[in-house]
Structure 1
Amino acid sequence: MEQPIVRSSVGITLVGGGAARPEDLDESLAHAPCLVAADGGAGFVLSTGRVPEAVIGDMDSLRPEARERLPRERLHAITEQDSTDFDKALRSVRAPLVLGVGFLGRRIDHLLANFNVLVRRATQPCVLVGKREVVLAAPRRISLELAPGSRVSLFPMASCAGRSVGLHWPIDGLEMTPAGVIGTSNRVAQRHEGPVELSFEGSGMLLILPRKALSAVIDALSSGA
């Protein structure tokens, strides 16, 4: 088993080199105050007046001017080219929760690769935070406090079946696969009271929710429900 570069008893905000906004970083740090950058994400962190506790990646996206502003002991180069910087960073940290900023948007191939990492590294809870949405690998069971009508999208990265309570279109009895039945654009039933309950028989399901659901997701993951 790989030894972590960063181990934190509080949440980690992990910053990538994709589309990110200062307000995304501010909100994530309020929940996950340990700040780590994946390669070129360090440049965005520095632009906000902060210095990451660690920078992890192959360092091919870290600009020389940014490298010069970072303490040498905080740079952790992983030079192999068989994985993305997000993968290198996520597998190198241990925390109750990781919030990923700068991993949604810009390039579709990067986005798909990041979704792949989410489900392969699902033992480390991680939520990707974007301008309009949050994305996570769904745990086997999760209970979410969501408003009636809120969008709840499910996309399987592998064959996966599950059950639901509180969705407008229940998923009970569906075998979802990437090239078959999927569960996008579902929503919370209008007359449903109480939390939305989701359970899955296997791993590999992506859960995609509106950005305003971030606090509900963090609460659900923290409770282990």
Structure 2
Amino acid sequence: MYRKECYVFDQNQPIPAVVRNYEEKDFSELINVQQECFPPPFPSELWWNKEQLHNHVTLFREGALCMEVNGKIAGSMTGLLVQYKPSDPDHTWEEITDNGYIRNHDHNGNTLYVVDISVRPSYRKLGLGKLLMQSMYDVVIHKRLERLLGGGRMPGYHKRADKITAEQYLQEIVEGKSKDPVITFLLRCGRTPVKAAANYLEDQESCNYGALMEWKNPFYINVSHND
């Protein structure tokens, strides 16, 4: 079980918050979070469903996290374990997450893969996304994994796609020449780019690209030597 109590700040006002594993009793509220994060015309069939959420809490409970602010679920983050080879990085979101059902979860995997991170729009100025990401880093360390990995949308890329490649767009953000609402956020969370993956997900704004970004376990070398 994971439980981290902390405070978040609405301007200068501290508000009690908790990051914890989500459970079956939370399913309806987690689906509400998805509805708020991805309103129409986003297809409702792509919101979490109860079968997916059930798999999350039964196949890899450690990777099913939610965040409560003043007792209300304000966001969630989900992951699974995969066996990842840096020499063979190409994949799609649907392939590596089993379309969100995580039936391919590998208990012996070396990498925690991010399936989803969602924060209600009305709570996005409180820094919840970064706290959820840091909490998942805790899981990486606890499980003695090599890394956390995931593909981020590149929603600003469609504005530049006729001038530069996706890799060039990603590099510009890393160099601070431009900003992207998702990629810049992931950089602020400590993630580093691996590559721009073509046909990663269906997303017009990203021109179907995803930025694969990782966080390497800083203790992993010592862990592997001690084993």
TM-score, normalization: structure 1? 0.30
Higher RCO, 1 or 2 (CA under 8 Å, sep at least 6)?
Answer: 1
Higher share of residues assigned helix: 2
